[in-house]
Amino acid sequence: MENKFDMAKFKELLDNNHEFPCKYCFKFVAKQDVLADLKERLGTEGEISEKVSAKGNFTSVTLRKNVKSSDDVVAVYESIQGLEGVMTL
């Protein structure tokens, strides 16, 4: 069974639960070999912090970024879509 993400429902939830503009917190977990690519796709806007896992196989990445609307939030998630080895939280 294919698990399809409903972007329209996600945007609706964002609009109902956040007051835009705001600072939005994005969280990801990435394998070490794709960490540089993830950070490149996230860009230079906002504050990025990282924490390496105990065994050093993964890094949690937090991006705090000013967004104007739910469309800005969706754009960040779309920018990393298809990047193997990254999990969004």
Report residue 12: phi and psi, to 5°. -60, -45
How many Cβ atoms from other residues are within 10 Å of residue 77's Cβ?
14
Q: Which residues contact 73 (CB under 8 A, 6 or more apart)?
A: 14, 24, 26, 67
Residues 33, 26: Cα–Cα separation, whole Å: 20
> For residue 4, what pLDDT is reported?
58
> For residue 2, what pLDDT is reported?
47
Sketch out the chain's domains with CATH numbers. Answer: 22-88 (3.30.70.260)
Q: Give bridge partners of residue 63 from the DSSP assignment.
A: 26, 48
Q: pLDDT tens, position by position, for the chain (89 residues)?
A: 444 578 889 999 999 999 999 999 999 999 999 999 999 999 999 999 999 999 999 999 999 999 999 999 999 999 999 999 999 98
Q: What is the pTM of this model?
A: 0.88
Q: Which residues contact 15 (CB under 8 A, 6 or more apart)?
A: 70
> For residue 6, what pLDDT is reported?
83
